[in-house]
Amino acid sequence: MVNILTPGPTRVRENVRLARSLETTNPDLDIEFYDFYKETCDKLSEFFNTDKPFFILSGEGILGLEAACASLTEPGDRVLVIDNGIFGEGFADFVRIYGGTPVMHSTDRLNPVDAAALRACLEKDSEYKYATLVHCDTPSGVLNDAEAICKLLKEFGILTVVDSVSAMFGEPLSAENIDILCGGSQKALSAPPGITMLCVSNEAFAAMEARKTPIASFYANILGFKDYYKNKWFPYTMPASDIYGLRAAIDNAAGDALLFERHRKIAAATRAALTAGGLELHIKSGYSSTVTVFNVPDGISCSDILSRVRKDYNIMLAGCFGELADKVIRIGHMGEGADKYAVGLALEAVGSVLEGLGVKVKCSMRDAFFEALDK
Ligand SMILES: *Cc1c(COP(=O)(O)O)cnc(C)c1O
């Protein structure tokens, strides 16, 4: 099997794969499945240390972002789209699709969103139904201070939607000031793709219930999940095997006392190693512990690097898309990928492939990585 160190999907541990192979019941009719589903959701609330309920929806991470916008947006609503990356900007599309008016707060893409500058804007105009923010914008790896920004937005009475798909379980996060927190199965949680997790506040539900127009989607309607347990009714059949696997992955994460520390140390050592080798990190500050992004050296083809790393070392790293296509390489060290031996080997692979392509690498990046880890 190829060793995947991409920023999602990530490697899936054996106990998660085995849990997916268990015999399944009829999840619509078997009352016990509602208990299993609710316990799994409660474990997520416990992990995030919040009283707010979680919901598990069948669909990739994108479904969560769309469901948040579909459920909150009414035609004509003004929505603040906080944008310092490709996913940040992308929220505007969902807002528009559901008839809202996105108002962009676009900032430079090499640094996290500055809360003081945002406050100055909100003091002039804060007439927004909700705001969207991406925790880790995966294409660049920039990490926004979701807690501080959501606290600020709540001061102005604005509902908050946070995409933490590629950060949650790799970066600590309080859901306290988040009205809809979106997560996915295939990133740092290291379950297979296909599941969205949403944590929803009472205020978000109240906003959905106060709508004058119906939610313009069935599959992406979060309100349809609100009373599933009381009514013993899901809007559609739940993917039981996916949820069995997800549960095992949540248990893995919840039982891992060093989860965040390991992510933080591996990310810091990866940055130290790349820099020591003479490569350039793509962003200037706000590095996520889940992914490290470096610039492809001038005159070298991104796809040549990736294909040689794949062919010679059987390691899969990621390039990027959109405005960063061919410009950067992304090393995902999230979830099962937050493994020092795997990342050390990937750095050795990048170093040797770059040398082979004529780039002078200043040191053994693998050695630099382990030295930095030991510090
Ligand atoms: C991966 C990811 C998503 C979900 O995208 P999918 O295509 O559904 O995997 C959403 N937001 C961010 C920031 C992501 O990294």
* Environment class of 2 (CB within 10 Å of its CB; exposed 0-12, middle 13-18, buried 19+): exposed
The ligand 1 atom nearest the CA atom of 87:
13
Q: Taking residues 223-237, what's their average pLDDT?
A: 97
pLDDT of residue 1: 85
Among 194, 200, 199, which Cα is nearest to 245's?
194
pLDDT of residue 223: 98
Tokens of 80: 């603040």
From 81, 82, 163, 197, the mutation candidate for ligand 1 (largest count of ligand atoms within 8 A of CB) is 163
pLDDT in tens, 64-113: 999 999 999 999 999 999 999 999 999 999 999 999 999 999 999 999 99
pLDDT in tens, 166-179: 999 999 999 999 99
pLDDT in tens, 297-352: 999 999 999 999 999 999 999 999 999 999 999 999 999 999 999 999 999 999 99
Among 255, 253, 219, 245, which Cα is nearest to 234's?
219
pLDDT of residue 71: 98
The residue with tokens 């003091």 is 123
User: Above pLDDT 70, what percent of the chain?
Assistant: 100
Sign of CA dihedral 339, 345, 348, 349: negative
Tokens of 341: 């031996």
pLDDT in tens, 241-289: 999 999 999 999 999 999 999 999 999 999 999 999 999 999 999 999 9
The number of C-alpha atoms within 13 Å of 204 and in the hemisphere containing its C-beta is 31
Confidence of residue 291 (pLDDT cuts 50, 70, 90): very high
294 Rama class: left (phi>0) / alpha (psi -120 to 50) / beta: beta
Confidence of residue 375 (pLDDT cuts 50, 70, 90): confident
The ligand 1 atom nearest the CA atom of 8:
1
Global confidence as pTM: 0.98
What does the alpha-carbon distance between residue 29 and residue 314 come to, in Å, rounded to a whole number?
A: 45
Whether the per-residue pLDDT at 226 is higher than 90: the answer is: yes
For residue 328, what is the enclosing H or E element? strand 328-332
From 166, 168, 190, 293, the mutation candidate for ligand 1 (largest count of ligand atoms within 8 A of CB) is 166
- Ligand 1 pocket by C-beta < 6 Å: which residues? 8, 60-62, 87, 134, 137-138, 163, 165-166, 184, 187
> Which string of DSSP letters, residue by residue, matches 336-350?
GG--HHHHHHHHHHH
Whether the per-residue pLDDT at 153 is higher than 90: the answer is: yes
